[in-house]
Structures are given as structure tokens and as C-alpha cells.
Amino acid sequence: MRRHGEVRVIFAMAAAAAAALLASAAVAGRDGRQTYIVHMSHSAMPDEFAEHEEWYAASLQAVSDAATVLYTYSTLLHGYSARLTRAEAAALESQPGVIVVNPEVRYELHTTRTPEFLGLDGTDALFPQSGTGTDVVVGVLDTGVWPERPSYDDTGFGPVPAGWKGKCEDGNDFNASACNKKLIGARFFLTGYEAAKGPVDTSKESRSPRDNDGHGTHTSTTAAGGAVQGADLLGYAAGTAKGMAPRARVATYKVCWVGGCFSSDILKAMEVAVTDGVDVLSLSLGGGTAEYYRDSIAVGAFSAMEKGIFVSCSAGNAGPGAATLSNGAPWITTVGAGTIDRDFPAYVTLGNGKNYTGVSLYSGKPLPTTPMPFIYAGNASNSSMGQLCMSGSLIPEKVAGKIVLCDRGTNARVQKGFVVKDAGGAGMVLANTAANGEELVADAHVLPGSGVGEQAGNAMRDYAMSDPKATATIVFAGTKVGVKPSPVVAAFSSRGPNTVTSSVLKPDIIAPGVNILAAWSGSVGPSGLPGDGRRVGFNIISGTSMSCPHVSGLAALLRAAHPEWSPAAIRSALMTTAYNEYPGGNGILDVATGRPATPLDVGAGHVDPAKAVDPGLVYDIAAADYVDFLCANNYEAAQIAALTRQHASEGCSANRTYAVTALNYPSFSVAFPAAGGTAKHTRTVTNVGQPGTYKVAASAAAAGTPVTVTVEPSTLSFSRAGEKQSYTVSFTAGGMPSGTNGFGRLVWSSDHHVVASPIAATWT
């Protein structure tokens, strides 16, 4: 699976490549074999077998003399994984009791001030029951853990929860005693990875739960790291760093290695995590889209949801294009990324007197205050792609002692600085191109460097190419807080619509994901590149990989405050209390366009945990409701069984009418034919607050033309907690060209609560 884009410098990958990864299996070995995940009907085991494992082995032997079982699965799904040829996999799928045979997918990882920005600096006041948060366990599937970081200090924690079944596993460079009452689990999974890629090279990474990448340590401490005073990255963002749920326990499951994250390992880790007893699962992973019964994360998340476990996933870093998000199953909370009100300015002044503001996390010897020669990399290379500052592309004689302007793209941002430095350059300005626009993501450069937006980059390029004596200076201004407007939607954040089930609006929500400070691995420098010899306790990185654990931690807080809430109720509370406007009433901006964002960019809006703890009403969804939704989407019995573990004959009833518009989701995705028409949606809300009466206000429009929104009834009254009320929404619109989108909002308001849902309409 993929760490959610180029945002995390090591894991650059285009959206098309990510989709290709998901559409095909992991690379087959020289023997033509690759890993497949075999879903079996648990109740179809013949009487001649005493154990399901015996039956699985026999089914495999019936089609292959050479294959052996890699993993067996017994809770999130029933079945096993094995290395097979395509012919063997096809033959196996026709065996009795086999529901579906899915090729393994390689996923990649989706790569402090946020508690204050989210209003969580007084957590105890906002979440009066958060003392019980020490019994909530956040499970993180990622690259492992660096347990020595103070974010995992267990001072003040009581005994490990009595029902906890997890453990810390020994491995090379990792002792089980590294865990404690805060970090209560650390496991690793690599059977699928090693079957596909060969043995782990222990000279490059630990065959253990230890995190040699940094990503897993960062995400787990973002979700639930304890408070650490005096945290910073090279002097930047100094202060107290803590996760969203600092009193929650942490369990890590290492499923990602140098060569990627493989779905057979991910499924086994999810199964073990559920059995261990986690309350929240956080996965900053992705790899394009697929039907849910073929998507391993969706399969594992369905069973986790059935057991009351909240699952949050990153939307991806393939934005700002439309229909780029992954992890869109309705039982998963899908998280996009926004900025916070903190920045790290680095000012570039040109010899022509023009000044530009960029960003940087460089910490080292500054450049001279006097102007230095300034050159465009495209004019200092014999390569056709020299402007990108690719390895070996710069001519040392032309860049020595100069500030070099490099275009962003293709290779990692910080790697360009290594290239300039190796060629003798004194500094670097990294210019966005049209693909990134004005989005600025700070990097811990290895030489004096500043990243600037597309407009500034174009002006600097024109200057450098037109003036043979061009000069520049770079001045680093440290950390700036109170930046406005904030948040804005990150350009890299993947966008809707949901390409698998367009009737479910995704992403669900956005959370902080740009320039996030959290703990880091001791094995790698802040750039994550092999040549970076710096070692830091905390790092600042960006991506939906960072926004996802924010929501995971907030879910842990809500679970502690409301242990009776289902995963759907927790998501509903986060969504219906989110905000989509700044205090002055203007819509949250999208940095990619400079215009207000739409629900396809932000879903319900930006999380507001202070309100989520008391949402008034929630939209609850049971597992059976999701099955009805799959029936409405014409899933076949075997496809549903791959998700639900039911017998393949227990499909949809021919005597019922199913409607995608009946799924009790806290948002509305409305489809009209090009000629227009009326669409009806039904919803049921549950009162989780005090008695009261709610009145509705709803509106939507497309291309300046109103969509008529009628809600019946228009008033809902509740006399007690737990009471349910249903309503119907009719959306009526005239004809529009196919592909037109319209947006709006439906809001229920009482004297004490505002319960809001986004509306996205599409003419097909």
C-alpha cells in the first residue's frame, strides 16, 4: 500500500501508477508465481476434515503440488494466502467452497501545534471522561515503531487493560522489553513480503517491529503520543509535542518494508490487531481503487467495523485532480489533508529587487547576506531534464558557489538539494510547476534552500534566464504562527468523487496534514534519504498520512468519552460538527485553485473535536445496512460473502427492493440524469444529546442554478436520549450538461446543536 505521494519525499508516485499497482498483482517471481488471497466459505467445509486448516491445505494441493499456505485467516475473513500461478489460481476459484481468489496488491505508505489548532490544549475540559482514555488502544499499521522516543513514556499509566491480548515481539535490533504500559504492542508481518521480494536485508532494515523509516513512529505519535516538552525539528516548531489522544495506549503493526506493503501481510495484521483488542485502527496506506471485495483494506475494515472498531484511512496524495482518492468504502472514515496556522518562511530576494516568500526547514550555516550568483538549473546542464536537478545532471563548473533554481517534479524535493550540493552549489530555490501550483511544503534541506510557488518560480526563472549576472539571497525566518487563512485544503490531498460507489460522498473529512511535527526514527535523517547523516528526535512531514492519525486519535477520544458509540456514530459526530467556513463566513479555500473548496475536496469540512464530543444527533449504520447497500449496488452473493464471511448462498433477497439512497450516511451524494429529475434520500438520526426540537435548512446549487431541496418532516422533536427520527429529502433539478456538479448543505439546528451534512450533486 502506498504512503499517501511526492509529499513524503521518498515515496513519489503518480496517481496513475498507484492505480496500476492496485489493478495488478504484486510482481510475480521468476517461477511465474505470485501471492493470491483465497476467500473460503467457512460453513462449506466437508465433514471429512476436522479443522479448517486441513481443508485449506487440501484445496491448495488439489491445484498445486508446489504451493504452500503463507497465512491462514480466521476472523476478518475465512481463507488463506499462497503463491500460485495464474492457471492454478483460476483452477482454485472453481473448487467447492471457494468464494473468490484475489491477487495480492502492493500498497505504499501515504506520506506541535495541531492540538492547539484543533482546540485540544484543554483536553480534560473538553472530554471530561478522557481519564478513561487510558483503556482505549489505537492500533497503527505502518513501518513499525522507535520505542525509545519519549512520546511513548508510560509515566502515570496504570496496568495494561485486562482484556488486551497483544504483545511485543522480539526481533533483530528490537527487544520485547522495549514496550511498556503506553506502547503495549509491537508486532511485525513479512511472510507475504518475503514470499514476493525475498528475505529482508537486515543490513538495511530490521527484521523486527523497529521502524527504520520514520513514518510509523510519526503516525503513531500523531495519533496518541504523550506530551513531550522541548520538542522541535532543528529548532523549528519548538514547543510541547503531543498526539491527539495522549492518554490512549498504542499498538503498532509493522507491515511496510523497503519494497512496499503487501496485502496478505496487511490482512493478517488487521486480523491480529482485532484479536489483540484494539479500539481504533489507523492506516495511512493506499493504492488506487478496486471493488470493495477485491480491496484488502476494505475487506479487513468491514470485519473490524462489525466488531465495533473504528477504522480511519488516508485519502491519498494524488490531488488536486478529481476522482483520485482511495480507501472509499463507506465503513472506512476517509481523511483528506489541510494546513494549520503555522509556517516556516524563507525569503528569497533577487538582484532585480523583487522579494518572494517560500518555506524551508533548513538549519545550518546561513548564506552570506550579500547577493550571490543565481542560475537556472536548465542552463547549467547538458541533460534534457537538467532543470529538475536529477542526479548527475548539473555541470559543477556552472553551479559552483551559486544559488541554483530547480524545478519541482520527478525526483524527491530534498534529493535535488543533494544534487546541487554535490555539484558545488551554495544554495537552492525549489520552484513549483503547474502540477503543484502555490502549495508550499517545507523540507529539511541539506543546504540553504527555499521552496516557492509556481508564480514566484516563473518570475525567478524569467529573471535568471534573462540576466547573465543574476543574483539572489535567501533569509530563513524560523517559525511563524497565526498564519491566515487556515486551514486551506492541501493541493496534494486526493479528491472525490468516489469512483467505486459514487453514491457515497468521499472524502469524509479533512484534518491537519501539512508540516506536522511528531516523533521520528533514529535510523534515518529528516529527509529520509540514504545520504542524510542527520539524526533528529522529531520530524516535520506532510501528507494525508499525517491527517489520518489525527482523526484516529480524535476517534480514540470520542470512544473514551462515549464507549457505547458505534464506529459509524463516531464518524457521524466528526462529520456533522465539522466546519466548512472561516469565522467571517467565507468558505475554506483550496490552495490548488484559490477558490472555496467543495465537498468533493473536503467532504463535511475540517474536524472540530470540541464540538464532536457533543454532536446532538448522529447517523448510525449497522453492518446489515452496509450489506443492503452492497445489494443496492448489485454485488453478487459471492462478492458480498468475501466481505461479510457469510455463506455465498446468503446473498440479496429477491423479495426486497434495495436503494443506495437509503444508506444512513451523514452526507448526500445525489445523481441526476442529464435531463434532470428528482432523487429521494432517506435518513434516520439518533438523539445523543438532551431533549430538544431541531429545524432544518437546506439548499444546493449548480452553475448558479438552484437545486430544490425539500425535507419532510422539516422539524424533528426528541424527548430522550437514544430516540430515533427519520426524514426524507427530495432533490429536484432541471437539465444540465453531463459532468456538471452542484453543492450545498443540509443543517438541522436546535437551541444547543448544529448538525450539518454536505450535499454533492452530479449530472450523469
Give yes or no: residues 176 and 245 share one domain.
yes
Give yes or no: residues 450 and 331 share one domain.
no
Which DSSP letter does residue 157 get? -
Q: Check the CA dihedral 388-389-394-396 and report its sign.
A: positive
The string of pLDDT tens digits covering residues 434-482 is 888 898 999 999 999 999 999 999 999 999 999 999 999 999 999 999 9
Distances in Å between the Cα of 525 and the Cα atoms of 205, 421, 451 are 14, 17, 19
What is the rounded (10 degree) CA torsion for 284, 290, 292, 297?
A: -20
**Does pLDDT of 646 surpass 80?**
no
**Which stretch of DSSP H or E encloses residue 264?**
helix 263-276
Say which CATH number the domain at 495 has. Answer: 3.40.50.200
Say which CATH number the domain at 81 has. Answer: 3.30.70.80
**Does pLDDT of 745 surpass 70?**
yes
Residue 636 lies in a domain: no
Rg of the chain over Cα atoms, rounded to whole angstroms, equals 26
Q: Can you read off the three cell numbers belonging to residue 424? A: 558545488
Provide DSSP, 545-599.
Answer: HHHHHHHHHHHHHHHHH-TT--HHHHHHHHHHT-B-B-TTSPBPEETTTTEE--H
Give yes or no: residues 362 and 335 share one domain.
no
Domain boundary among 443, 476, 509: 476
pLDDT cut 70: percent of the chain above it? 92
The string of pLDDT tens digits covering residues 368-412 is 989 999 999 999 998 889 999 999 999 999 999 999 999 998 898
Q: What is the mean pLDDT of the segment spanning 546-560?
A: 97
Say which CATH number the domain at 420 has. Answer: 3.50.30.30
**Does pLDDT of 47 surpass 90?**
yes
Nearest to 33 by CA among 103, 99, 80, 124: 103
Residue 539 lies in a domain: yes
**Does pLDDT of 53 surpass 50?**
yes
Give yes or no: residues 331 and 371 share one domain.
no
Q: What is the pLDDT of residue 121?
A: 61
Q: d(Cα 650, Cα 641) in Å, to the nearest integer?
A: 8
Q: 732 — alpha (psi -120 to 50), left (phi > 0) or beta?
A: beta
> What end-to-end distance do the CA atoms of the chain give, in Å?
31
Give yes or no: residues 294 and 410 share one domain.
no
Give yes or no: residues 545 and 592 share one domain.
yes
Residue 650 lies in a domain: no
Nearest to 286 by CA among 89, 13, 690: 13
Residue 632 lies in a domain: no
Give yes or no: residues 122 and 99 share one domain.
no
**Does pLDDT of 15 surpass 70?**
no
Distances in Å between the Cα of 280 and the Cα atoms of 54, 271, 307, 556, 579 are 33, 13, 11, 7, 24
Distances in Å between the Cα of 213 and the Cα atoms of 101, 216, 521, 526 are 32, 7, 6, 10
Give yes or no: residues 387 and 334 share one domain.
no
- Span of 154-163, 180-189, 280-289 with lowest mean pLDDT: 280-289
Residue 93 lies in a domain: yes
Residue 633 lies in a domain: no
Domain boundary among 72, 104, 136: 104
Q: Look at the chain and report how many structural domains it folds into.
A: 4
Give yes or no: residues 716 and 606 share one domain.
no
Domain boundary among 587, 610, 633: 610
Give yes or no: residues 349 and 469 share one domain.
yes
By annotation, the residues acting in catalysis are: 142, 215, 545
Give yes or no: residues 47 and 134 share one domain.
no
Query: Would you place residue 34 in the very low, low, confident or very high pLDDT band (cuts 50, 70, 90)?
Result: very high
Residue 226 lies in a domain: yes
Beta bridge partners of 617: 687
Q: What is the pLDDT of residue 289?
A: 87
Average pLDDT of every residue of the chain: 91
Query: Would you place residue 32 in the very low, low, confident or very high pLDDT band (cuts 50, 70, 90)?
Result: confident
| Burial state string for 169-178 with b = 16 or more CB within 10 A and e = fewer than 16 | bebeebeeeb
The string of pLDDT tens digits covering residues 476-500 is 999 999 999 999 999 999 999 999 9
Give yes or no: residues 120 and 260 share one domain.
yes
Domain boundaries, position 687: 617-621+664-763
Residue 483 lies in a domain: no
Q: What is the pLDDT of residue 123?
A: 52
